[in-house]
Structure formats: C-alpha cells, structure tokens
Amino acid sequence: MDIDKMTSGHGTMDHTKMQHGSGHSMDMSGPGHHAMMIADFKKRFYVVLALTVPVMLLSMQIQQWLHLAISFAGSPYLLFALASVVFVYGGWPFLTGWLSEMKAKNPGMMTLIGFAVTVAYLYSSATVFGLKGMDFFWELDTLILIMLLGHWIEMKSVAGASKELELLVQLMPDEAHMVMPDMVHDVKTDTLKANDIILVKPGEKVAADGIILEGESYLNESMLTGESKPVQKVKGDKVIAGSINGNGSFKVTVSHAAKDSYLSQVVKLVDDAQKSKSKTQLLADTAAKWLTVIALLTGMTAFLYWYLTGQTLAFAMERMVTVIVICCPHALGLAVPLVVAKSTALSAKHGLLIKNRTAFENSRKITTMVFDKTGTLTIGKFEVSKIVSLQKALKENEIIRLASALEQQSEHPIATGILQKVKDLKIPVPKAENFKAISGQGIEATVEGKKVLVVSPGYLKENKIRTPDGFTANVTETVVFLIIDKELAGYIALSDEIRPESAEAITTLKQENIKSVLLTGDNSKVAASVSNTLGMDSFIAEVLPHQKLEKIKELQSKGGFVAMTGDGVNDAPALAQADIGIAVGSGSDIAAETAGIVLVNSNPKDIVSLILFGKATYRKMVQNLAWATCYNVIALPLAAGVLYNQGIVLSPAAGAVLMTVSTVVVAINASMLKVKT
C-alpha cells in the first residue's frame, strides 16, 4: 500500500511526484523510501558542515572579521575547489529540483533556491578568475548548509505528520495461521483469500476481515474505530483485520482478500483525502505561485537598484540572493498540506473517515445537524417487547414465525430484533420466496403459499387500512404489522434505548449554536419522546426515504447550512442533498456511500468530535497561512535592504535561517492538532 503518496511540502528530488502549494513535486513511494531521503539529506548536511570550516577560514571577508591572515600559493583555487564540492554535492537536490520544475513549466521553491545558489557560485567563481570584487563562497556554503538542515528537519516533521497513517498500515500482521485439514500452517497475509480459515491466538492481531467460526474473545479495535473499550466477539460475529485479540483464541472464516479489507479501504480513503485539494489548499497554491514570481521580480529589482545607485556588484548580488532565498514559499506551501496530512490520518485513527476534504473543512459552517434516529441517537438494538395476534386462529408464536421468514433477508435493526426473539423461543424459521422490498414501508414475500407482508404504520395509513380496535403502543416502541393474504393478522412491538452519549452530544451542539433536528420514518409519538428527552430543537416523523431529501431542501431554503447523518443506504439521496453528508455505522462497507464523511461507529459524540475537529483543523490552516504570509511581508523588505541606511541588513545565510525557522514553526503548529473526544 502506498501510504506516503501524501500531500507533502518539500520539493527535493524528482522521484515520484508529490505536489504541494509552491508548485514543486516530490516522490515518496513508501515509508522506507522517505527514510532514505531523510538519511540522504542528513549525509549531505554533515559533508557540507565538514567543508564549512576550511571554506570560512580561506574566505577574505571572514579573515577580515577575525583579524586573520591565511594565505598561500593557490589558496583562492583551493577555496574555489572546496566551494565547488559544496555547490555540486550539497546543492544537488536543489539543482535537480530546479531542472524538474523548469521541465514541468511550474517554477516553485526549487527554482528559487537553485537560481540563488547558482548566481552566488558563478559570481564568486568569476572573482577567482579575474573579476574585480570579493567572493561570497562562505555565504554560499552556509546558505546550502542551512537549506539542507531545513529540509532535513522539515522532512522529519512531515514524517511525523503522517505517522498515524503509518501506524494504521503497520496494524496489518505480515503472517497468518492458516488452518489446513491436517495442521496449522503459517502463510503471508496477502496470500489469504475468501473462505480460508485462520486461527487467531491470544494477544495477536487479526490478519483478515472475517466471521468467527469457532471460539470467542475480547478484541481491541481502538486503532481502527476509535472505540476504546474491548469488544466481545463470539461465533458468527464479524472481526476486522488489524484489531488486537485479548486472551481467547478463535478461528475466523476469511471474508475477502487483504486488499479489500476494511483497513486497506481506510488507508486508501485517507490517502485519497490527503491528495485531494480543497478550496483552502487551492488558495495556498495560488498564493505560493504568486510569491515565487514576486520573489524573482523583487530580487532582480533589488539587484538593479543597489548596483545602479553605486553599490558593489557583490553587494547587489547579495541582496538579490537574500531576497530570493528568504521568499521561498516553503512555509506557505506547507501551511495547508501538513495540516491535511495530520488531520486525515489522525481522524482515521479515531474512526472519522474523511472522503471529501471540502466537506470536512466546511463542517465549521454547520448551523443545522439532522439526525437519523435508529442506531445513531438510539442504540439501534431492538428487542421485541410485545407480540399481538389479531386473528383467533393465529397464536403469537405463529405471528413472529411468519415475520421472521421475511426478516431473515434483512439487516435492519428491527429484523435483528425479531430474529433474536425467534432464536430465544427456539422456533424454526420458514423459507421465504419472491422476496420484495416496499420502499421505506416494509417487505413482502411468499411463505408456505401465503402472501405475507411486514409493514410500518405508514403503510397502513397510505393504503387506508384501519388500525385494530384497542391498538396501543408505548410511546418509545416501534411497531410493525403483519398482513397475511391482504388480512391484518397481528403486530409486533419493539423497543430501542436512547444511547447514553446522545444527550451530551446534543448539549455540546447547543453550546456551538448548532440546531439539532430528528428526521425519522418512525411514528410521531416515538420521535417526540426521543426529541424531548434529548432536548432537541425539533423533529420530523413518519418520513419515507424519498421525502427525507425534500425535508433537507426545506431546511436549506430557510438559510441553514445542513449536515445530515444516516446509514448511507436508504438515506443516500438525502445525504447527497445535504451540504455535508455523514454516513454512520457503515462498518466495513465504507467505500459505497454517497457521504463525504464516514463515521465507523454510530456514536453521536463522534459527530460532535468531527465538527469540533473540523473547526480546529481550519483554525490551524488559517494560523499557518497567516504566519507564512506575515513572515514574507516583513522579511522581504528587510532582505531587499530597505533598512540598510539604519544599519540593518540580512545576509543570505540569515535569510536561509529565517526561512527554515518559518517552515519549522508551520510544521510544529500542524503537529499540535488533536481530536477532542
């Protein structure tokens, strides 16, 4: 898995192309490759550092400052030779980067550095071979030294920003214990395929997504879903590759190959999000490109001004080089990508999967938060609380038996509740044929020659079927009706508890001045009860899936910036219509949703975390952009020499130090981003 093709900030060598704001590209085709590049900069830095002492001691300017007199036959040529090694070996990453940018017709930071060191080197070399003036080989040396150090530090910062994603990748174990007929055999994880059986021993990581065939244990899924408590898993339960096993051991029937695993999808999703560009990123890109042009024009203007007003060629060259170096749009180019790298990887670690960068950054604008009820604000685990027969010939057990025939085809929480009741009563589930879903209202099928429907109260209302005399349902109950051969036969009431975290989530939204609206297909009494208990602003009940889209439009027409949470299947049109669609509880089927953001758990507190994290991420981007812009506004005139008459003038090396410091400030600020849970 290529996890390092992430938006990065440094334009060093032309290897695999990573774009960032200042227009330079860089390839990082894996963590190992990235580590090699860091090591390469480190080695070049130390070689140049070793050559810095003799270069400085042989330089005329340094000798004047230190009152030294080191001169011998050929000393200028030795200085030229040492400086040439520094220029070629130390400057190589910048020179090749410059060439790549020129080929791509996309000048950026490498163009500026390459141009600056080349001008300094050519001018200084000319002074050795007869041009009148003083060389600045020592300034060239220290400039390259500081640029190498800056890139080395910055690359380590970028590696730090993406380490959460690397940790996710490392979750996948290399080997699995494959169960053969005669023995257990260790195989490479990437060779596993659907229906293979693997053994997971105590303390090991689960090697593949699958279903427990035998045994049970508690699994730690915190690095995958953000759920901190270990989750009990028994026979028939799904397990996710990368989760950590507790003290039990169990066998798993593998669901699919490693490349299709939940973890692989998460890594791909994060990778895609980091490579995608939002409006903030495009703004930074534009600013960085303009800064490149401004740096070159200002540098050349400074050169002409100082040279034409009587200063030496060396001084005029020095001003130009300093302006160009100090205005490298490094900090500006890194301002957004570093925060992107950090935020997408960090959110994935907390079960918040960002598919659309713009949607995530826009979460700060949310004014109305629309919640689906079942499985989001409520636990989503329905338990049968009442079975009522409306025909004397039918017993309660027959009502639940026929209903279970239809519900075995469904994964809805109501179906799970009915099937659990049948299992508890030890009733065999009959076979259903000609199965058909009635959109948003129930299901129908043929069972033992009878046409059976399991439907919502909304179906009865729409088809003008009168509810039975004496029908009552508890305000918190959800009811489904059984119709056999067009005759109302009975009903089943199920209860669903409100999540303990829901009230806290709604309170936090209120504090953030965000309205909370409940949108549900359930009856008005249940909706009102849930809404009032949680202190929500309003509720909309008995809504069919296609009507949810209209309700979202209504809220938008009132000027609201609307986010909606739903399960991403029935709610797909509404999620697409909302300004921000958030799919919840979609498990390992994360790629098929229309939503811009996917929450692995259905916990409403995660939705609040997402909004607060979106705001924090945007703040970091703005802080970084503000810092990078202000730094350039102040540094550029100083580099050009506007305060020269007041005795304040920056050398190219000092310019390089300031540029490096500005880049490191941006990197440190990005690394301080955290998810509040």
pTM listed for this prediction: 0.62
Angle at the Cα of 39 from the Cα atoms of 38 and 41, rounded to 5 degrees: 65
Which CATH code is given to the segment(s) 173-260?
2.70.150.10
The amino acid at residue 205 is K
Report pLDDT for 67. 74
Asked if residues 578 and 594 have their Cβ atoms less than 8 Å apart, the reply is no
d(CA 233, CA 211): 10
Report pLDDT for 629. 80
Residue 141 annotated in active site: no
DSSP element (H, E) containing 238: strand 238-239
594 phi, psi to nearest 5 deg: -85, -10
CA nearest to 7, candidates 158, 164, 163: 158
Q: Which of 14, 40, 372, 522 is catalytic?
A: 372
Domain boundaries, the chain: 31-166+269-343+619-671, 173-260, 352-377+499-600, 383-495
Report pLDDT for 290. 81
Express the helix, strand and coil content of the chain in percent, nearest 5 each.
50, 15, 30
Architecture of the domain whose range is 383-495:
3-Layer(aba) Sandwich (3.40)
Report pLDDT for 448. 92
Angle between helices 652-671 and 313-326 (to 10 degrees): 10
CA nearest to 384, candidates 420, 423, 429, 428: 420
Report pLDDT for 162. 56
Interacting residues of 29 by C-beta distance below 8 A, sequence separation 6+: 2, 4, 5, 15, 16
Query: Which residues of the chain register pLDDT less than 50?
Result: 1-30, 586-588, 591-592
- Measured torsion, CA atoms of residues 99, 103, 105, 109, in degrees rounded to the nearest 10: -20
Architecture of the domain whose range is 352-377+499-600:
3-Layer(aba) Sandwich (3.40)
DSSP 8-state symbol, 448: T
Asked if residues 155 and 39 have their Cβ atoms less than 8 Å apart, the reply is no
